[in-house]
Amino acid sequence: MSTVTLGRKVPAFSLPASGGKPLGLKDYPGKNLVIYFYPKDSTPGCTTEGQEFRDLHAEFARLDTVILGVSRDSVKSHENFKAKQGFPFELLSDGDETLCRLFDVIREKNMYGKKVMGIERSTFLIDGKGVLRAEWRKVKAAGHAAEVLAAVKDL
């Protein structure tokens, strides 16, 4: 499978999600889509990033933009994380890394001195026609949601 490319349509996808039903590109026709990949539910950076998207959610919604978070955690873990943080958007469970590989976000990381494969914090902006318009890789959580919102305003 190839990976996504700026300026090209993103292939259809669907994954199990919080909220009880699978979600994918086809569920949001005509809407912009922000997909942010994060390493793990309820960890400090991932919580900060999710909270910032939560706090700007109304502004994204006014711009006809849906936010989806993605990690390898289970739907049950996502449900708990979403409830605890009051996220108004859904979280997709990518346990087999299908979407992670499509967006090429799996990287070797150093965890407590050990090399492990994990999600590199990354965000992608897809327009209402399904075309990838922007990408951010090696994201620092703090302040990132505002940067993504600025890019949506420029669409």
Identify the pLDDT of residue 2.
Answer: 67
Measured distance CA(78)–CA(21) in Å, rounded: 13
Task: Tell me, yes or no, if 100 is annotated catalytic.
Answer: no
Instruction: Check pLDDT > 60 for residue 1.
Output: no
| Residue 29: both structure tokens together | 């026709």
CB–CB of 133/124 below 8 Å? no
* Catalytic residue from among 4, 17, 35, 46: 46
Measured distance CA(3)–CA(11) in Å, rounded: 9
Q: How confident is the model at residue 16 (pLDDT cuts 50, 70, 90)?
A: very high
**What's the mean per-residue pLDDT of the chain?**
94
Q: How many CB atoms lie within 10 A of CB 93?
A: 22
| Residue 19: both structure tokens together | 């909220």
pLDDT tens digit sequence for 33-55: 999 999 999 999 899 999 999 99
pTM assigned to the model: 0.94
Domains in the chain (CATH in brackets) are: 30-153 (3.40.30.10)
